[in-house]
Amino acid sequence: MQQFVQQLLNGLFLGSIYALIALGYTMVYGVLRFINFAHGDVFMLGAFAGLYTQKALGPLMTSLPWPVSAALVLVISMATCAIAGIVIELLAYRPLRNRPRLNVLITAIGVSLFLEYTGQLVFGATQVPFPPLMPSHNVSGLGELTVTNVQVLVLLAAVGLMLGLRFVVMRTRLGLAMRAMSLNPTASSLMGVNNSIVISFTFGLGSALAAAGGIFYASLYPSIEPFMGIIPGLKAFVAAVLGGIGNIPGAALGGLIIGITETLVAGYSQKIGIPSGYKEGVAFVILILILIFKPSGLLGKVEREKV
Amino acid sequence: MMKYKAQIALLIALAVSLGLSMCSGQIDDYYLDILLNVGINITLAVSLNLVNGHTGQFSLGHAGFMSLGAYGASVFSLQMGDRLITVFGGQSVFATSVTFLIALTVGGVCAAACGWLVGVPSLRLRGDYLAIVTLGFNEIIRVVLQNTSGDGAFGGALGLKGIPLYTNIFWTFGVAAVTIYTISCMVNSTYGRGFLAVRDDEVAAEAMGVNTVRYKVTAFVLGAFFAGLAGGLYAHLRGTISPEGFNFLKSVDVVVIVILGGMGSTPGVVLAAIVLTLLNEKLRDFEQYRMVVFSLILIIMMIVRPQGLLPATLFQRRKNA
């Protein structure tokens, strides 16, 4: 039981990060109906932006109390990635707005590879340690469970960002425009919504969340490299599909499910007699199962194809 | 005479590669290696083109099928090879050739069987989803192979070594020629129009009575089979294989070839396979820039010339109106 709760908690922390990335996939899919393959690499960019911000701030980092400096790093990194996301959309995806979806998908793969290998040139190919944003210690009073304050803060911050996103999408004019566009882009533009601005905004928002995910991930697993975004990115995508792509609460739910399943498989692999390395494949097995049995996802709506 | 044009071309190609193979001793090892890589890449690209180009289904898991073929053929060669060679009367060109042919076929069939297993459920999906499922499948194969026991038949994360080096010009280009022949003839046949119909408009094709799922699965299985053959050739060229060598990026390499050549255009894809393999060699000194250049090629091609360098429309026969 002890071990089960521990694994569940670990899964929850990891899942909250997957959920943050998954939100970006789902939002972009909502407005543009395409999978932004490069999203996982924006996540990587976020982690590196955090690293370089820390380096640039240097002495300031140590003189400020850690909540301020950590927030500063987070905000700067999120802003950098928001801009990066908007630029990527502008340069690579916008020229293809009315082309077949396959072309956009291929471009997205191209952008993803471009970010990875340019990252390798700029940041170096080796693993870089990510300096901790705050002093880490175990949270006391939980019996034999080991939970660090970093993990708890990551979970709280992730939940906070998701609630913030919910507010933006449900309560602001731009959020309204996003929802209108995901319902029907032609009709929304006829109603006076500037679709291009909505798309840029969506990319910015999604990329900022991915950047936050990158910083959180780097705080939990403090070693970053230019290819770190591929696997979490794919898993987050699976999370988005699992929750029903285009559905924002679904992406959050999917992220948590993937995170928890993965840690449980890794934790219990010995008992059920499979190698723990199989946890890397879990997300994909879930993906294939969900696409076969419920392609619309857990919370998604069934879309009929019209001729 | 004209009726058998394709068959004659195939025979000529086989004869030429056999001839070249005879005098491969004259060729410098370095160039021979490049040449064999060109052949393997042609097979890979043309087979992926059947799925991605002609049938319009975007698969990102070609390296997965390649790895199945490579492992199938290698395990067969390593476990059964010696016994078979003795059956065929000891070490001789004939015995090794037959053994290699069987090993390659075993690899191809493994890949095709898996292609069928994956294809049947996942080909009901479209576009982006299919791309991700095939990618996921590629990852699953890799993870499973990596986690096999290190001293078992599959060699675990370190892979297999000591695979007999059977691959030569005849086998590489023979397989490439057969692949091109089979796929071109199939696509250009009456039956094969179904592939193009599925690509052009799936809903319309279905309404006209084309069994779209069956066409997609056929394309997938056939593509997987030839990818498996290419994998077998690759394994018997390198002598060592590891699961890491067949990752997502390997799949992307093949996708880049197909896109650069022109989806659905066999001559374009063959040309692109040659050009990109040579370019890869030339850029070896600039290894870190290579993928940056490739990714830019992908992005720019999609914006400027999505139909590829030699688009399929160039080769379509004019029809009388």
Contact call for B122 and A288, based on CB within 8 A: yes
Residues 206-265 of B with CB under 8 A from A: 248, 252, 255, 259
pLDDT attached to residue A236 = 93
Contact call for B306 and A99, based on CB within 8 A: yes
Kindly give the pairing relationship between strand A128-129 and strand A223-224: antiparallel
Please name the residue of chain B whose CA is at the shortest distance from the CA of residue A275.
B147
Q: According to the 3-state scheme, what is the secondary structure of B3-50?
A: HHHHHHHHHHHHHHHHHHHHCHHHCCHHHHHHHHHHHHHHHHHHHHHH
Query: Contact B123/B61 with Cβ under 8 angstroms?
Result: no
The answer as to whether A269 is a domain residue is no
What are the chain A neighbours of B291 within 8 Å (beta carbons)? 113, 116-117
Reply yes or no on whether the pLDDT at A253 is more than 90: yes
pLDDT attached to residue B2 = 61
Reply yes or no on whether the pLDDT at B247 is more than 80: yes
pLDDT attached to residue B24 = 75
Query: Contact B206/B212 with Cβ under 8 angstroms?
Result: yes
Say how far apart CA B87 and CA B110 lie, in whole Å: 24
Reply yes or no on whether the pLDDT at B319 is more than 70: no
Query: Contact A298/A255 with Cβ under 8 angstroms?
Result: no
- B121 inside 8 A of chain A by CB: yes
The domain locations on chain B are: 30-247
Q: Return mean pLDDT, chain A.
A: 89
Q: Which of B132, B144, B248 sits opposite A237 (nearest CB)?
A: B132
Could you write out the DSSP letters of every residue in B195-237? HHHHHH-HHHHHHTT--HHHHHHHHHHHHHHHHHHHHHHHHHH
Contact call for B136 and A288, based on CB within 8 A: yes
Contact call for A291 and B125, based on CB within 8 A: yes
The answer as to whether A218 is a domain residue is yes
Q: Mean pLDDT across the stretch B118-141?
A: 80
The answer as to whether A194 is a domain residue is yes
Question: Amino acid letter at B244?
Answer: E
Contact call for A230 and B140, based on CB within 8 A: no
The total domain count for chain A is 1
Q: Mean pLDDT across the stretch A195-220?
A: 94
Say how far apart CA A241 and CA B135 lie, in whole Å: 14
Specify the DSSP class assigned to residue A128. Answer: E
- Phi, psi dihedrals of residue B59, rounded to the nearest 5°: -105, 135
- B147 inside 8 A of chain A by CB: yes
pLDDT (tens digit per residue) in A29-54: 888 888 888 999 999 999 999 999 99
pLDDT band at B227 (very low <50, low <70, confident <90, very high): very high
Q: What ipTM does this complex have? A: 0.83
pLDDT band at B81 (very low <50, low <70, confident <90, very high): confident
Q: Which of A92, A241, A284 sits opposite B140 (nearest CB)?
A: A284
Q: Tell me the shortest Cα–Cα distance from B184 to chain A, in angstroms.
A: 23
Q: Return mean pLDDT, chain B.
A: 88
Reply yes or no on whether the pLDDT at A306 is more than 70: no
pLDDT band at B102 (very low <50, low <70, confident <90, very high): very high
Say how far apart CA A88 and CA B40 lie, in whole Å: 35
pLDDT attached to residue B42 = 96
Q: Mean pLDDT across the stretch B19-30?
A: 81
Q: How many CB contacts within 8 angstroms connect chain A with chain B?
A: 117
What are the chain A neighbours of B292 within 8 Å (beta carbons)? 114, 117-118, 121
Q: Mean pLDDT across the stretch A191-206?
A: 94
Reply yes or no on whether the pLDDT at B34 is more than 70: yes
Q: Where on the phi/psi map is residue B162: left (φ > 0), alpha (ψ -120 to 50), or beta?
A: left
pLDDT band at A59 (very low <50, low <70, confident <90, very high): confident
Please name the residue of chain B whose CA is at the shortest distance from the CA of residue A88.
B299
Contact call for A280 and B56, based on CB within 8 A: no
What are the chain B neighbours of A296 within 8 Å (beta carbons)? none
The answer as to whether A205 is a domain residue is yes
Q: Tell me the shortest Cα–Cα distance from B200 to chain A, in angstroms.
A: 11
Query: Of the candidates A115, A295, A102, A282, which has an alpha carbon nearest to the alpha carbon of residue B202?
Result: A102
- B128 inside 8 A of chain A by CB: yes
Contact call for A284 and B303, based on CB within 8 A: no
What are the chain B neighbours of A237 within 8 Å (beta carbons)? 132
User: String of b and e for B261-277 (b: at least 16 CB within 10 Å)?
Assistant: bbbbbbebbbbbbbebb
pLDDT (tens digit per residue) in A90-118: 999 999 988 887 788 889 989 999 999 99
The answer as to whether A270 is a domain residue is no
Say how far apart CA B118 and CA B139 lie, in whole Å: 13
A224-228, B33-37, B162-166, B312-316: range with lowest mean pLDDT: B312-316
Q: Tell me the shortest Cα–Cα distance from B130 to chain A, in angstroms.
A: 9
Model pTM?
0.86
Q: Tell me the shortest Cα–Cα distance from A102 to chain B, in angstroms.
A: 7
pLDDT attached to residue B112 = 96
Q: Tell me the shortest Cα–Cα distance from A95 to chain B, in angstroms.
A: 7
Query: Contact B49/B179 with Cβ under 8 angstroms?
Result: no
Length of chain B: 321
The answer as to whether A241 is a domain residue is no
Q: Which of A35, A230, A283 sits opposite B128 (nearest CB)?
A: A35
pLDDT band at B23 (very low <50, low <70, confident <90, very high): confident
pLDDT attached to residue A2 = 82
Q: Which of A120, A274, A275 sits opposite B288 (nearest CB)?
A: A120
Domain that holds residue A165: 16-229
Q: Where on the phi/psi map is residue B157: left (φ > 0), alpha (ψ -120 to 50), or beta?
A: alpha
* % chain A with pLDDT above 90: 58
pLDDT attached to residue B320 = 46
Reply yes or no on whether the pLDDT at A148 is more than 50: yes
pLDDT attached to residue A305 = 56
The answer as to whether A306 is a domain residue is no
User: Cα separations (Å) of B28 from B25, B239, B273?
Assistant: 8, 19, 21
Task: Tell the burial category of A292 from Cβ atoms under 10 Å away from its Cβ (0-12, 13-18, 19+).
Answer: middle
A3-17, A147-161, B126-140, B164-178: range with lowest mean pLDDT: B126-140
pLDDT (tens digit per residue) in B158-214: 889 889 999 889 999 999 999 999 999 999 899 989 999 998 888 899 899 999 888
Please name the residue of chain A whose CA is at the shortest distance from the CA of residue B148.
A275
Reply yes or no on whether the pLDDT at B321 is more than 70: no
Reply yes or no on whether the pLDDT at A133 is more than 60: yes
Contact call for B139 and A120, based on CB within 8 A: no
pLDDT attached to residue B312 = 76
Q: Which of B58, B121, B302 sits opposite A107 (nearest CB)?
A: B302
Comparison of pLDDT for B179 and B94, the residue scoring more: B179
Question: Amino acid letter at A11?
Answer: G
The answer as to whether A239 is a domain residue is no
Q: Tell me the shortest Cα–Cα distance from A96 to chain B, in angstroms.
A: 7
Which residues have a Cβ under 8 Å from the Cβ of B78 and sit 6 or more positions away?
Answer: B153, B160, B162, B163
For testing the chain B interface, which of A33, A112, A117, A276 should be mutated: the one with the most B CBs within 10 Å? Answer: A117
